[in-house]
Amino acid sequence: MNGQVLVEVEGVSRFYGKTAAVADVSFLIRRGEVLGFLGPNGAGKTTTMQMLSGNLAPSQGRISIAGRDLLENPTDAKRHIGYLPEYPPLYRELTVDEFLDFCAGLHGLSGKERKAARERAKARCGLAEVGGRLTGHLSKGYQQRAGLAQAILHDPDVIILDEPTVGLDPIQMREMRSLIRELGREHAVILSTHILPEVRASCDRVQIINGGRLVLNERIPDLDRRMQSSVLTVTFRRRPSLEALAALPGVGAVTPEGETRFKLFHDPSADPTEALIKLATEHAWGIYEISPEHQSLEALFVELTGQAGEA
Ligand code: ATP
């Protein structure tokens, strides 16, 4: 059932000595959702992923996976989790088939069930042709796919991916992102990254963590609406009347950028472009350039974390 809450994180903190790597973090992830977890180096992404996957105990707080408390019923809760850590946990001397069979065994699958799970995961991750190859001999992209196949083998409700595209070439990256999108249709997926365009390419919602605290949790369409342009840069051939520009509907302020270049700050819901063209034509000011300035996710990231993300 899409929309069902599959991950519930409530007031989770993790201390190392007196330092909080993660501090009082709460959020939900629903089935059918891909959540992008962004943050600068050392922000607490991996620590959060490790706690969500049941590999690290929180110092405080509660995590529930598909309705099961991860601390009280770890074995039961972990059955519903697939985890791809930052470095895929491969046994280099095993073939892809042997590796996936071994992992299926760990999930308690045997015989026909095991083979079916292995073949399904291989097909989903584009590994059908390489079942007999040693994982240690695969390219980085294929090793990542084998890591992902391991994570989805038991058809878990929740898929946790720690920096899934690190080290991939642009084509492999695109394939991995489309696979993540596809998985997101039926599962709840959380992926951590510091590649900003990755979030737009793969995610429905973005969370930004900084210094262990969540500083943003927003759906991508809401974010886009919030980041709608509210500034127009305009260049004229002849110097216009500043008063006339400032009087355009929706325009709050006009600042000169040069003799004939101006920035018009306007209400995001009232784009003055049409009225501006009409006015410029009436007065023969001659428009050279009108360009809306969109606030980028990058700018928002810098504003919230004080650090640059990877473009
Ligand atoms: P990156 O993008 O660099 O991987 P991150 O967001 O994943 O960073 P974490 O690895 O979660 O960040 O680390 C968060 C903070 O906790 C950092 O300040 C880190 O130094 C600290 N930390 C992580 N693991 C330990 C540990 N085992 N002992 C002490 N401090 C730790």
- Please give the domain boundaries of the chain with CATH numbers for all domains: 5-225 (3.40.50.300), 229-294 (3.30.70.100)
How far is CA 26 from its chain centroid?
17
* Residue whose C-alpha is closest to residue 289's, from 267, 268, 258: 258
Of the candidate ranges 141-145, 268-272, 279-283, 305-309, the one whose mean pLDDT is the lowest: 305-309
Cα 299 to ligand 1 centroid, rounded to whole Å: 24
pLDDT at 34: 96
* 305 CB near ligand 1 (under 6 Å): no
Cα 43 to ligand 1 centroid, rounded to whole Å: 7
pLDDT at 187: 94
pLDDT at 33 over 80: yes
| Residue with more model confidence, 71 or 167 | 71
* 39 CB near ligand 1 (under 6 Å): yes
pLDDT at 48 over 60: yes
pLDDT at 311 over 80: no
Nearest CA owner, ligand 1 atom 2: 41
Over residues 57-105, the pLDDT tens digits come to 999 999 999 999 999 999 999 999 999 988 888 899 999 999 999 999 9
| Residue with more model confidence, 46 or 311 | 46
- How far apart CA 93 and CA 77 sit, in angstroms, is 30
Over residues 285-308, the pLDDT tens digits come to 999 899 988 767 777 788 888 866
**Helix (H, G, I), strand (E, B), or coil: what is residue 179?**
helix
With 0-12 / 13-18 / 19 or more C-beta atoms within 10 angstroms meaning exposed / middle / buried, residue 123 is: exposed
Query: pTM (2 decimals)?
Result: 0.80
pLDDT at 55: 92
